Amino acid sequence: MPNYPFWLGGVAASMAACFTHPLDLAKVRMQSLGPTVPSPSMLKILRHSVSNYGLRSVYTGLSASLMRQMTYSLVRLGSYEEMKRFMSENGSSPSAGKLLLAAGVAGGLGGIAGNPADILLVRMTSDSIRPPEKRYNYRNAITGLISLVKEDGQKGLARGLGTNTTRAVLMNTSQVGSYDFFKTTLLQYPIPLVNYQFHDGFFLHVVASLAAGTCGTTVCSPADVIRTRIMGSSGKASPIEVLVRSLREEGPAFMFKGWTPAWMRLGPNTVLMFVFFEQLKRGWSSLVPS
């Protein structure tokens, strides 16, 4: 495999986040709402934000999103590519099981690296739906990080770490691992009925990444909701306590609260991320031949 720089995936994910951040903002706000508040639609949340605070308001927390991509996504994608390259050194293609295992390990590393930025992202995007006295009022990710450490100490950086890491493992396995699986499968087998054979190019990358985004959204939804509620809270509830309380008050459906905006965000985000990533890798290969 060609040798790509470790940070290339973080750049691709950051580029994708610039397009899909408003959808991420809507998803977090939906997941943050408790059982006593009717769940509004994604469009209603975005329309309310624009009408009350202006168009720029849907990009609230973008600095935290970019910090998250350059920590979480950079590590999870870079680590996965390095593991995949290591497993391919003898010239054989790694099995699907090995790729999924590598994706899970890389996802865990990314979850740990990106946890502080994830806290900032959740707090900054959900701040406007809090009572004024409970808002964090972070101006940007850097000042938010400083405030987080000042107010909660270094332990504050690990808030929700267990849930976030679990989600990151599930996400990388179901998104990045499945992308390689769908991509390889589509290249090997023609589509039934129409007998269409894919080739390694833009259309293949779009179809495989869209399937991976759908898979990732569904698998990660329960952990994502719990993570959002823990990180957005100033209390010290454990994931088990949040799970039990939410199941008691809202029923099992709470685990898929915000699934539609999550998919509408993760689907395009996954497509953009992998398309950008594939193009950046091709561009790098042309500039720096291996």
Least confident of 24-28, 145-149, 155-159, 178-182: 24-28
Q: What is the pLDDT of residue 248?
A: 87
In terms of average pLDDT, the best of 46-55, 105-114, 229-238 is 105-114
Radius of gyration of the chain (CA): 19
Give the C-alpha separation, 115 to 223, whole Å. 14
CATH classification code of 8-287: 1.50.40.10
Give the C-alpha separation, 223 to 238, whole Å. 13
Average predicted confidence (pLDDT) for the chain: 88
pLDDT band at 240 (very low <50, low <70, confident <90, very high): confident
Alpha-carbon torsion, ordered 266, 267, 270, 274, to 10 deg: -170
In terms of average pLDDT, the best of 1-10, 102-111, 190-199, 242-251 is 102-111
pTM of the full structure: 0.83
Q: What is the pLDDT of residue 250?
A: 85
Q: What is the pLDDT of residue 256?
A: 85
Give the C-alpha separation, 159 to 229, whole Å. 11
Q: What is the pLDDT of residue 30?
A: 81
Least confident of 119-123, 194-198, 277-281: 194-198
Coil, strand or helix at 61? coil
Q: What is the pLDDT of residue 146?
A: 96
- Which tops the pLDDT comparison, 82 or 253? 82
Q: What is the pLDDT of residue 227?
A: 78
Q: Which residues, in sequence order, are CB contacts of 120 under 8 Å at separation 6+?
A: 61, 64, 67, 68, 138, 141, 144, 145, 148
Does residue 61 have a pLDDT over 90?
A: yes
Mean pLDDT of 238-255: 85
Q: What is the pLDDT of residue 169?
A: 94
Does residue 90 have a pLDDT over 80?
A: no
Q: What is the pLDDT of residue 82?
A: 93
Mean pLDDT of 235-241: 77
pLDDT band at 234 (very low <50, low <70, confident <90, very high): low
Least confident of 60-69, 75-84, 189-198, 263-272: 189-198
Does residue 290 have a pLDDT over 60?
A: no
Q: What is the pLDDT of residue 38?
A: 67
Token pair, residue 219, equals: 């698998």
Q: What is the pLDDT of residue 289?
A: 65
pLDDT band at 222 (very low <50, low <70, confident <90, very high): confident
Residues 18, 62 contacting (CB under 8 angstroms): yes
